[in-house]
Amino acid sequence: MRRFTARVAVFILLAAAAAPAAAAEEGTVTTLWPLFDYRSNPATGYSNLSILGPLFKREHSGDVTRTALRPLFFNQSDKESDDSDILYPLASTSSGGGDSSTQILKLYQKHVSRAGTAEEKHDSMLFPFYISGESEKYGPYRSFFPIQGDIYQRFWRDEYHYTLFPLYGRTVKNG
């Protein structure tokens, strides 16, 4: 019985490999699913390569390119932006439109907005030990927890001030 099942499986694989690729009017499809699957349509600028089912994927659709090595890595890019996830949600990067951000476990975060302009703004955080940024109302701020810090317009308050936390601390909301 095992030999029969093995022979049938081999026959199906050989028949699938020997069969001509199914062709759409303007595109091509070459498949030996789930090992290999390639589809393209030059008229629309679409192509897709999948290897081992959904584990590896490379897709072009117009200006957008998506690359995935699941579950380790995903990237989507076009002329305007580039987004990547590494072991989502552990780490991610994003850039586009003059903004860029990076985060690792939401404990380390870095954000740059309006890059390359006079209004360029930087925020960074290694939670809870280091927080820095710039407030439109109060200007630049920096915090080295628990030694000393001033933080403006973050964490649902207008101001945080502390020295040798918890010996001295003050917050202002809507002030």
With a CB cutoff of 8 Å and minimum separation 6, the contacts of 14 are: none
In 3D, which of 57, 55, 49 has the Cα closest to residue 32?
A: 49
With a CB cutoff of 8 Å and minimum separation 6, the contacts of 15 are: none
With a CB cutoff of 8 Å and minimum separation 6, the contacts of 59 are: 46, 47, 48, 49, 65, 66, 67
Residue ranges in the chain modelled with pLDDT below 70: 1-25, 175
User: What confidence score (pLDDT) does residue 22 get?
Assistant: 42
Range 81-106 burial, b when 16+ CB lie within 10 A, else e: eebbbeeeeebbbbbeeeebbbbeee
User: What confidence score (pLDDT) does residue 55 get?
Assistant: 95
User: What confidence score (pLDDT) does residue 143 get?
Assistant: 96
Range 27-36 burial, b when 16+ CB lie within 10 A, else e: eeeeeeeeee
User: What confidence score (pLDDT) does residue 112 get?
Assistant: 93
